[in-house]
Structure 1
Amino acid sequence: MAILSKDEAQNILKKVLSFSTADECEATLNGSIGGNVRSARNSISTAGAVDNVSLAVQSRFGKRSGLATCNEFDDATLRRCVQRAEEIARLAPESPEYMPLLGPQQYLDGSRSFAAATAAIDPAYRAKQIGASMALCDEKKLSSAGFLDDSVGFIAKRNSKGLEAYQQTSYVGFSVTVRTPDGSGSGYAAADYTDATKLDAARLTRVAAEKAASSVKARAIEPGKYTVILEPNALLSNVDTSLLGVLMQSLDARSADEGRSFLSKKGGGNKKGEKLFDERVTIYSDPLNPEIGDLTFANDGRPQQKTTWIEKGVVKNLYSSRFWAQKAGIPDLPPPGGWIMQGGTQSTADLIKSTAKGILVTRLWYIRPVDPQTLLYTGLTRDGTFYIENGQIKFPIKNFRFNESPVIMLNNLEAIGKPVRLNGSLVPPLKIRDFTFTSLSDAV
C-alpha cells in the first residue's frame, strides 16, 4: 500500500478531516517502499526492505495543538487517531508562537523528483550493482564495505483551511569504503540520484579502490596552513555535520537576529545584504533543478520556489519560520531542501594539475563545532589524503585534524570545479588556500 496515488491519498485525508471537531485540523500522509543491501569484506552482510505508510493528524483548539499518528486506515482507526489528537490538544498549553494553518497554495510541478527507473528497482538490480563492486575489489585483492539503498515515496497534505499538496519522490544511493588487506590504505566514494539509471557502483568502487591502493605508506608532514583541494565528499559527506552543510543550516534569520549566529550583528540585527564570501560564491535552491528534483513544498505547506541564498559572495536571503517572518517583518521563506553551489567546468583532476603545492582531501569526518559565532569547526581527514606538487599527486600523507570555518574557507577560494550531486545537493570540488591543519592523526 506504500505508494498511494494523489486521489487515493487525498480521499483518506478528506475522510480524516470529516471526523474532526477542532477549530483547525491538518493531516499528512507519508509513504515509502524500498530496499537496501550492505556488504562487508566483499560479502553481503545484510539486505532489507521497507514498506510503510503513516498518517499524522494535528488538531488545534485556539492556540493549543495536539498530534497523533497511526498506520492503519480503516474508518475506526482514523476516527480514533483524530480523537486522540483532539484530546492532546485540549490538554496542551497555548503556543506563544501560534500561527493559523495556511489556506490553498500554488505549487510548482514536482514531477522531476520521481523517476520510474528507480521505482522499478528490485533485488536483482541491487545484487548486480553491489556484486560488481565486490567483484572489482576481489580482483584487486582489496577489501570493501558498501551500502546501497533505494526508495520511492510520496507525501500528501490536506487541512481544514483548503490546503492540498501531493508529490512523489525517488532516491538511490551508494557508498563504499575500500581498504588494503593490511588496513593501511583506505579510499571512499559515494553518489546518489533520483534516477537509478545514473548509478554505477563499479565506477564509484574503482575510484575508492585507486585511492586505497595509493594511500599505503603514508608519510607524516608538518601541520600548518596549506592549499587544499576538497572533493565534494569532504564538503558535504553528511548534511548535518559538514562544512557546507553547517553553513547552509546557519542561514536562519531568527538565530541571526537573536545574536546566536555568524550572521548576527553586534548591537542587533543581521548581516543580510553584506558581502561575506568570495565573489565567485553563489548558492541557490531550485526544486525544479533536474539533477536534484526536490520537494515543491515545505513541511508546513509553504511553497518552495527558486531562491538565491548567496549571490557573488553577498548574503541575499535568510529563511525563517512563519512566526518569525511575521514578527520580524521579513520575507516568509522556508528552509531549502537541496541546494546548488555554482561552479565551473574543471574536474578534481584539473584542479590538481593547476596546483604547485597542496593537499588533496577525499573526505572529512567527526566534524564538531568549536565556535558558533564564527562557524569554526574541527574534524579529521580520512580515506585518502595526498600531497600535491607541480600538478601531480606525489605521495600519500597521514591524516590531519583541522580547525576551519566555512566562512573563512569561502574567502580563501582559489578555484571552483564542476558541481556533482551529493546528498541531494549539487556541490563542486573547491581549491582553498591557507586551510588550517592543527595536528596529525594516526587513523586511516
Structure 2
Amino acid sequence: MANIISREEALRITERALSFSRADQARANLSSAETGNTRFAQNQLSTSGDTTNTTLTITSALGRKVASATTNIFTDDALRRVVETSEQLARLVPENEEYVGELGPQEPPEPQAYFESTGELAPERRARAIAAVTEQAVARDLVSTGFLIHEAASDAVATTRGLFVYGTRTRVNFTTTVRTPDGTGSGWAGTSAHDFDDLDTRQLGATAVEKALASRNPRAVEPGRWTVVMEPTTVGNMVSLMMNQLGARAADEGRSFFSRPGGGTRIGEQFVDSRVNIHSDPDDPTIFSTPFNGEGLPNRRMVWVEDGVLKDLETGRYWAQRQGTEITGFPAGWYMSGGSSTLDEMIASTERGLLLTRFWYIRGVDPRTILYTGLTRDGTFLIENGRISHPVKNLRWNESPIFMLNNIEMMGEPVRISAGESSGLTNTVVVPPLKVRDFTFTSVSDAI
C-alpha cells in the first residue's frame, strides 16, 4: 500500500478531532494522497518528483452558521485548534440558508479501485515507460515531450451524527507530443487508467510519432461545415462540456440548456441521437467513479442519457429538499456507449471530410446552447474519397456537443481517454470515436 492513511487511522483521526467539537453539528473530511510525476522534453527526462500530503478539514455548524478550517498536523493540540478555529469562524459568518445539516450513517459502494501497480509505481519504472516513447522519437529524428503523473489516494468523511465512510483509489495519466525538428509536424497521444499495467506507452509513442510524420507541411482548407471523423479524445472533450451542465438547479432556474421553455426541465425529452447512452457507476471497473461526495453522500449507478433521452439531472441534498425530488448520484466519471465501426471504416466511408486528433484552448461562448469554441491540434488531416490525402492547417471551431450528438453518422467502440486539455489527473471518461456531419469551423489557424 502506498503511503496513504488507512481506514483504521482515518477512523482514529476523525473520531478524535470530532470529540473536541462543541458545535451543533460537525464534519471531518480527511484526504490523503501520494503523487508522483515525471516530465520529459527534447527526448530526455527533465523533472521527476513525488509528494505525500494529508489534510483534515473540519466543518462546524452553529445553527445555520457554517465555517471550515484545515490542518495537516494530527496531534491532539492541533486537532483541538482546528476544531476551535472552525467554530470561531462559524460565529462570525452569516447564516447559510441552504445548509441542510450533516449526514448520519451511510453505506456507500466500495469499488476495488486501488491497484498496486499504480500505488507502488517507482520513478525507475516511470522512466522506463517514458523511454519507450523517446527511443522511438530518436530513431525517427523527432522530438518528444510529455508528462506521466500518478496518484494513490484515500478519502474519509465523518460526522458528529455517526457517519464514517472511507475509500481508496489509484489513477495514472500519460500524454506525449512528438514534433518534427522543423516544427511543421506534430502528433499527440494520451490515455488514463486506474491500473498502470493497462498503460501501453510504447503504442502511444508509436501513434504520436506516426502523426507527427504524417502532419508535416500542412495545407489550408476552407472553414465551414465539414464531415469529421473524431478520435475519442475530441469526443470526450466535447461531451464533457455537456456533462458539466447536468445540474438540476440551473435547469429549474431557467439558466441551462436543460431548462424547458416556460418552466421545468427537459427530463424525459429526446435531445440527441437515439444511439447516445451515458451512465456513471462507482462499481463499474471501466470507470470507477467516486463512491461518495464531500458530504459523505453515497454515489450510485445513474443513467443520464438513454436512447437519446435525458433521464436525470444531478440533484444535491438542498435542491432535492426544496423541490421535493430525489437526491441523485453525480457524474464524477462516466461512460458513453458506442457502436462497432472502426476509425478506418469511418474514414473509408467519407467522401470528403477531416480527421481530428485533439482539441485545445476550449472556451465558452453561450451556456444556454452549450456552445464552445476551440482549436484543432496535433494532427488534422483531409479525407478524400475514403482515404487520408494530406495534413491540413489547424482550424478554429464553434460547436455545441448538443449539435454534434444530433449529427452522428457512425460510432466506434468506447475507450478510456485523457480527458483534460492539460496533462493532469481528471475524472474517468470513456467515449467512442464518432463520425459527425456538419461540424462548424470558422477560421484557419497557423498554430502547429
Please give the alpha-carbon distance, in whole angstroms, between the structure 2 residues aligned to 1:368 and 1:313. 25
Say if 2:121 is the partner of 1:121: yes
Amino acid at match of 2:432: P
Tell me how far 1:335 sits from its aligned partner.
2.2
Asked if 2 retains the 8 angstrom alpha-carbon contact of 1:171 and 1:193, the reply is yes
Q: Which residue of 2 aligns with 1:298?
A: 293
Gaps of at least 5 residues in structure 2 are 420-427
Deviations 1:117-167 (A, max 9, x none): 111210111110112211111111111111001111100111011111101
Of 313, 324, 333, the residue aligned with 2:328 is 333
Aligned pairs for 1:30-69 within 5 A: 30-69=31-70
SS in 1 for 2:443: strand
- The number of residue pairs the alignment matches comes to 438
Amino acid at match of 1:435: F
With the length of structure 1 as denominator, give the TM-score of the two structures. 0.96
Asked if 1 retains the 8 angstrom alpha-carbon contact of 2:234 and 2:356, the reply is yes
Asked if 2 retains the 8 angstrom alpha-carbon contact of 1:227 and 1:434, the reply is yes
Say if 2:199 is the partner of 1:199: yes
Say if 2:375 is the partner of 1:374: no
SS in 2 for 1:410: helix
Say if 2:438 is the partner of 1:434: yes
Q: Which residue of 2 aligns with 1:318?
A: 313
Say if 2:176 is the partner of 1:176: yes
Asked if 1 retains the 8 angstrom alpha-carbon contact of 2:280 and 2:289, the reply is no
Tell me how far 1:353 sits from its aligned partner.
2.5
Q: Which residue of 2 aligns with 1:402?
A: 397
Say if 2:14 is the partner of 1:19: no
Asked if 2 retains the 8 angstrom alpha-carbon contact of 1:145 and 1:178, the reply is yes
Asked if 2 retains the 8 angstrom alpha-carbon contact of 1:9 and 1:29, the reply is yes
Please give the alpha-carbon distance, in whole angstroms, between the structure 1 residues aligned to 2:205 and 2:231. 16
Tell me how far 1:44 sits from its aligned partner.
1.3
Please give the alpha-carbon distance, in whole angstroms, between the structure 1 residues aligned to 2:76 and 2:345. 61
Tell me how far 1:334 sits from its aligned partner.
3.8
Please give the alpha-carbon distance, in whole angstroms, between the structure 1 residues aligned to 2:340 and 2:33. 36
Alpha carbons of structure 1 residues 88 and 2: separation in structure 2 relative to 1, 3 Å: farther
Tell me how far 1:325 sits from its aligned partner.
1.2
SS in 1 for 2:124: helix
Q: Which residue of 2 aligns with 1:390?
A: 385
Tell me how far 1:282 sits from its aligned partner.
0.5
Q: Which residue of 2 aligns with 1:275?
A: 270
Deviations 1:259-313 (A, max 9, x none): 1111112222111111000000010101111122222112221111110000001
Identity of aligned residues (%): 46
Asked if 2 retains the 8 angstrom alpha-carbon contact of 1:298 and 1:334, the reply is no
Amino acid at match of 1:210: E
Deviations 1:96-130 (A, max 9, x none): 1111111111111222x111111121011111011
Please give the alpha-carbon distance, in whole angstroms, between the structure 2 residues aligned to 1:18 and 1:244. 45
Q: Which residue of 2 aligns with 1:166?
A: 166
Please give the alpha-carbon distance, in whole angstroms, between the structure 1 residues aligned to 2:156 and 2:344. 44
Please give the alpha-carbon distance, in whole angstroms, between the structure 1 residues aligned to 2:137 and 2:247. 44
Tell me how far 1:246 sits from its aligned partner.
1.2
SS in 1 for 2:406: coil
Tell me how far 1:2 sits from its aligned partner.
4.2
Asked if 2 retains the 8 angstrom alpha-carbon contact of 1:415 and 1:430, the reply is yes
Aligned pairs for 1:50-199 within 5 A: 50-111=51-112, 113-199=113-199
Please give the alpha-carbon distance, in whole angstroms, between the structure 2 residues aligned to 1:53 and 1:354. 53
Asked if 1 retains the 8 angstrom alpha-carbon contact of 2:300 and 2:329, the reply is no
Asked if 2 retains the 8 angstrom alpha-carbon contact of 1:283 and 1:341, the reply is yes
SS in 2 for 1:287: coil
Q: Which residue of 1 aligns with 2:7?
A: 6
Amino acid at match of 2:173: G
Please give the alpha-carbon distance, in whole angstroms, between the structure 2 residues aligned to 1:29 and 1:248. 28
Please give the alpha-carbon distance, in whole angstroms, between the structure 2 residues aligned to 1:164 and 1:416. 43
Amino acid at match of 1:44: L
Please give the alpha-carbon distance, in whole angstroms, between the structure 2 residues aligned to 1:327 and 1:154. 32
Asked if 2 retains the 8 angstrom alpha-carbon contact of 1:235 and 1:364, the reply is no
Please give the alpha-carbon distance, in whole angstroms, between the structure 2 residues aligned to 1:53 and 1:106. 24
Deviations 1:336-388 (A, max 9, x none): 11000011233323322232221100011111111111111111111100011
SS in 2 for 1:289: coil
Deviations 1:397-439 (A, max 9, x none): 1111111111111000111111111241211111100111111
Please give the alpha-carbon distance, in whole angstroms, between the structure 1 residues aligned to 2:50 and 2:282. 28
Q: Which residue of 1 aligns with 2:424?
A: none
SS in 1 for 2:49: strand
Please give the alpha-carbon distance, in whole angstroms, between the structure 2 residues aligned to 1:385 and 1:413. 19
Please give the alpha-carbon distance, in whole angstroms, between the structure 2 residues aligned to 1:101 and 1:269. 29
SS in 2 for 1:335: coil
SS in 2 for 1:212: helix
Which stretch shows the higher mean deviation, 318-327 or 53-62? 318-327
Q: Which residue of 2 aligns with 1:362?
A: 357
Please give the alpha-carbon distance, in whole angstroms, between the structure 2 residues aligned to 1:351 and 1:299. 42
Q: Which residue of 2 aligns with 1:248?
A: 243
Please give the alpha-carbon distance, in whole angstroms, between the structure 1 residues aligned to 2:323 and 2:342. 43
